[in-house]
């Protein structure tokens, strides 16, 4: 029965040195197709494709199982591989198959690793190692094959665990170590990735101690929370689960899912907290604390707070707060209502004086102001000093003459109006208006009383006059009667 041998893979080799078996895989077919059964095989190496120049002894394999045409055998020819190519002849059940198969480069590469006269490549723990002038490169099999090989590069003092990698760097006194399974240290010195899958790309004296922790670089940073990250910087810590410290110096992300993006001596202590700037302290869960460059602690006092310390002012829709603590370029709203609150306890105040004292009343001063409708200039709108469209308001120059404490100016000399104590002024002005009305009413009442007295007096005079008129009429009647008597006599 004639057979054909077709190769689909050749010379699969383990990463070890010369005199160990190599794996050969082939496909055996007869006229009907892929062969299934048992076959006796013989393998012989030759120095050329056609000549009778055998290398070493032949290897016989009896009873090789073949399934659906596929088979695999282990071949140990001893230390025969050199820099020149070799050719493999295969016989099946006494029939020599042609052509001979050239050996692939993998065993030849192993020859290069241990070539005669080489002093840098050597066998180490069933693996391959390179060491010269304080540099090292080794590929070692893992104790547990599922963990993968140990890959060590850089200084010979570097250390790696099963499936771990140290790509370089290190020194005798400051080696790099990847002692966690699947851990990785790419370079630098005295970096130690001891957690499962922990990673340190570089830097110095960094530590990633727990599962999936990462330190990107920098100096003396620590990622000790599961899945935590320190990107770099100096003496930063990510202690909470999935916590992150982006960089800077002396920062600590301690809560779970806490974040410190950078800056100096910031602490995100609560879960889901955020601290940035200088000496920001997000001490409670959900706190967001943003601190400026002031060298003083700025700490949250409760959960879910959003705190800002900005001695230069906070700008919204403007890049120049213009000396204000908060500047809003545009409209602001309080959805749903609400109020602005000012502490007004008398115990918090001193030098208390009535505002109504002075030559002019507050009512008169308020009435001295004038309301105008106007539009801001284009420059004012462009620089966000005013809004477009028709507006209603006061003129600062007029206000300055009446309430000078309400008027200030920016660095360009433009006046702005800040109403101060408006509610108190309105209350006092209304009181003055009421007092004035009360005085007028009292005067009117006094005048009305006088008029009433005069009317009453006039009424008495009228009655007396009427009485006198009656008496006069009676006298006149008597006089007339006397005359008539006299005439009759």
The answer to whether the CB of 303 falls within 8 A of the CB of 296 is no
Averaged pLDDT in 10-residue chunks for the chain of 489 residues: 44 41 76 85 92 92 90 84 79 86 56 44 51 54 63 88 90 94 95 96 96 96 97 97 97 97 97 98 98 97 97 90 86 76 81 71 83 91 86 90 88 86 76 80 84 82 83 79 63
Give the span between the Cα atoms of 90 and 11, in whole angstroms. Answer: 14
pLDDT for 427 equals 77
Residues whose CB is less than 8 angstroms from the CB of residue 118 and which lie 6 or more positions away in sequence, other chains included = none
pTM more than 0.85: no
Residues whose CB is less than 8 angstroms from the CB of residue 129 and which lie 6 or more positions away in sequence, other chains included = 121, 122, 123, 136, 137, 138, 139, 140
Q: Length of the chain in residues, anyone?
A: 489
Strands (E), 384-485: 390-393, 407-409, 415-417
Give the span between the Cα atoms of 311 and 140, in whole angstroms. Answer: 59
Measuring CA to CA, which residue among 256, 305, 257 is closest to residue 280?
305
The CATH code for residues 3-110 is 2.60.40.10
Q: How far is CA 126 from CA 17, 80, 191, in A?
A: 8, 19, 27
Strands (E), 155-279: 159-160, 165-166, 177-178, 184-185, 192-193, 199-200, 207-208, 214-215, 222-223, 229-230, 237-238, 244-245, 252-253, 259-260, 267-268, 274-276
Tokens linked to 260: 């410190």
Give the span between the Cα atoms of 165 and 159, in whole angstroms. Answer: 9
Q: How far is CA 219 from CA 190, 240, 274, 290, in A?
A: 10, 20, 23, 25
Give the span between the Cα atoms of 478 and 466, in whole angstroms. Answer: 19
């Amino acid at each position: 029965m004639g057979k054909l041998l077709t190769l689909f893979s050749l010379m699969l080799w383990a990463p070890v040195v010369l005199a160990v078996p190599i794996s050969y895989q082939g496909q055996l077919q007869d006229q009907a197709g892929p062969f299934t059964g048992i076959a006796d095989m013989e393998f012989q190496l030759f120095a050329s494709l056609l000549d009778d120049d055998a290398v070493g002894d032949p290897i016989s394999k009896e009873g090789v199982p073949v399934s659906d045409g596929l088979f695999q055998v282990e071949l140990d020819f001893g230390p025969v591989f050199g820099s020149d190519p070799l050719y493999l002849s295969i016989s099946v059940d006494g029939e020599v198959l042609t052509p001979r198969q050239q050996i692939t480069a993998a065993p030849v590469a192993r020859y290069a690793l241990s070539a005669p006269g080489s002093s840098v490549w050597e066998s180490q723990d069933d693996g391959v190692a390179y060491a010269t002038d304080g540099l090292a490169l080794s590929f070692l099999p893992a104790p547990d094959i599922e963990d993968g090989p140990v890959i060590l590069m850089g200084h010979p003092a570097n250390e790696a665990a099963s499936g771990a990698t140290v790509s370089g760097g290190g020194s005798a006194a400051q080696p790099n170590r990847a002692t966690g399974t699947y851990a990785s240290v790419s370079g630098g010195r005295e970096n130690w990735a001891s957690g499962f899958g922990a990673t340190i790309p570089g830097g110095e004296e960094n530590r990633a101690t727990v599962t999936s922790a990462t330190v990107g670089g920098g100096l003396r940073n620590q990622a000790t929370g599961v899945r935590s990250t320190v990107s770099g910087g100096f003496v930063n810590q990510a202690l909470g689960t999935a916590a992150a410290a982006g960089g800077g110096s002396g920062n600590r992300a301690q809560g779970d899912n806490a974040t410190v993006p950078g800056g100096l001596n910031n602490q995100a202590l609560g879960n889901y907290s955020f601290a940035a700037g200088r000496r920001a302290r997000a001490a409670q869960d959900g706190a967001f604390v943003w601190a400026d460059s002031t060298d003083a602690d700025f700490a949250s006092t409760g959960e879910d707070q959003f705190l800002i310390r900005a001695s230069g002012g906070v700008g919204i829709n403007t890049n120049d707060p213009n000396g204000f603590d908060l500047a809003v370029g545009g409209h602001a709203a309080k959805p749903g209502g609400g109020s602005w609150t000012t502490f007004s306890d008398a115990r918090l105040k001193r030098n208390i004086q009535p505002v109504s004292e002075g030559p002019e009343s507050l009512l008169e001063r308020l009435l001295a102001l004038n309301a105008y409708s106007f539009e801001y200039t284009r420059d004012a709108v462009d620089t966000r000093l005013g809004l477009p469209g028709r507006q209603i308001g006061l003129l600062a120059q007029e206000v300055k003459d009446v309430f000078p404490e309400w008027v200030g100016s920016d660095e360009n000399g433009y006046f702005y109006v800040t109403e101060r104590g408006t509610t108190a002024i309105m209350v006092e002005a209304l009181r003055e208006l009421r007092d004035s009305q009360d005085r007028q009413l009292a005067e009117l009442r006094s005048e009305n009383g006088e008029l009433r007295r005069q009317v009453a007096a006039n009424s008495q005079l009228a009655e007396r006059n009427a009485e006198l008129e009656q008496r006069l009429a009676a006298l006149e009647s008597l006089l007339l009667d006397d005359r008539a008597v006299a005439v009759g006599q």
